[in-house]
Structure 1
Amino acid sequence: MSTLTRRDPLDDFFRGFFVRPVDFAGSPAEAPQMRVDVKETPEGYQVHAELPGVKKEDIHIHIDGPVVSISAERKQDKEVKEGERILRTERYFGQVSRSFQLGQDVDEAAANARFNDGVLELTLPKKVAPKAKRLIIE
């Protein structure tokens, strides 16, 4: 038995039309992303996090034992003027965060962070594990 299906050609034309973002400026604002590389050395860990478009003041790093959390907020305002008329004003606010657990506790006092050209570099030395002490019975 055959099934008859009716198709409207305008259905395919408008399908997805209203779900695509409208791009006025040629490049829409992207949500902030964070790509992280973690390398282990005998002395500690090296972390490189890519944070393009984020200011140094908007990056927060929290260390709790072996857990490292990085969060960043990106704020972007764009205003296009033509003479005295404002044609368009756009605002974008976004936040991204990553947490990961390392194999050993981090020495927070000796940790170091640098931010240069959109790349956050963390140097996280390993905390020296206390050695077991043998007690002598008196």
Structure 2
Amino acid sequence: MANLTRWSPFKTLSRLEQSPFEDFFNGLHLRPRWSELETPDMRIDVTENDRSYAVKAEIPGVNKDDIDVSIEGNQVSISAEVKRETKKKEDDRDICTERYYGQVYRSFSLPNEVDNTKASAHYENGVLTLDLPKKGNGHGRKLTVS
């Protein structure tokens, strides 16, 4: 059985494997820094039973007030503002500093519509858990994360 790996076009390019996209930057004497293009991923698990959907999304290092969850029919959207930085002492010298500020976003459709009046969201230890009961029809609503 073969192992599955996640492919990213920006992570697999190297000096030996040049693509037409990379050739464009060579003509301008600029070389893109692929590590700067990498953003944090939001990994999700979606499970279903007869009555509802359960969604678990890994969003580590995010304040629960910076998470937005919206539901319209069978469309679920999760977005969060990520702020990652390191602090140093006054007498320390920077050798390497990596920070990320930005937005992560994930949107997906479910097979059935969600009863957004009974939906709930909970964030703990970097994991957002959504309980989304099934329904025939409804209106859009934003959830508050507890």
TM-score surpassing 0.5?
A: yes
Distance (whole Å) between structure 1 residues aligned to residue 129 and residue 77 of structure 2: 13
Question: Which has the larger helix fraction?
Answer: 2
The structure 1 residue matched to 2:83, chosen from 72, 75, 88, is 75
The structure 1 residue matched to 2:45, chosen from 19, 25, 37, is 37
Distance (whole Å) between structure 1 residues aligned to residue 99 and residue 85 of structure 2: 5
Distance (whole Å) between structure 2 residues aligned to residue 63 and residue 55 of structure 1: 20
The structure 1 residue matched to 2:58, chosen from 27, 33, 50, is 50
Q: Secondary structure, in 3 states, of the residue corresponding to 1:57?
A: helix
Distance (whole Å) between structure 2 residues aligned to residue 20 and residue 44 of structure 1: 40
Question: Which has the larger strand fraction?
Answer: 1
The aligned counterpart of 1:4 is none
The aligned counterpart of 2:7 is none
Q: Which amino acid aligns with 1:110?
A: K
Q: Which amino acid aligns with 1:56?
A: K
Q: Secondary structure, in 3 states, of the residue corresponding to 2:77?
A: strand
The aligned counterpart of 1:105 is 113
Aligned length: 105
1:91 to partner: Cα distance: 4.5
Identical positions, percent: 50
Q: Which amino acid aligns with 1:92?
A: Y
Q: Name stretches of at least 5 consecutive residues in structure 1 with no aligned partner.
A: 1-14, 22-29, 130-138
Query: Where does structure 1 differ by over 6 angstroms across 4 or more consecutive aligned residues?
Result: none
Contact 1:32 1:94 in 2 (8 A): no
Distance (whole Å) between structure 1 residues aligned to residue 60 and residue 135 of structure 2: 31
RMSD across aligned positions (CA): 2.6
Q: Scaled by the length of structure 2, what TM-score is found?
A: 0.61
Give per-residue Cα distances to partners, 1:59-108, cap 9 Å, x unaligned. Answer: 1001000000001111123332234xx74476430211111111111011
Are the structure 2 counterparts of residues 20 and 51 from structure 1 closer, same or farther at C-alpha, using a change threshold of 3 Å?
closer
Q: Name stretches of at least 5 consecutive residues in structure 2 with no aligned partner.
A: 1-14, 17-30, 138-146
The aligned counterpart of 2:141 is none
Q: Scaled by the length of structure 1, what TM-score is found?
A: 0.65
Q: Which amino acid aligns with 1:55?
A: N
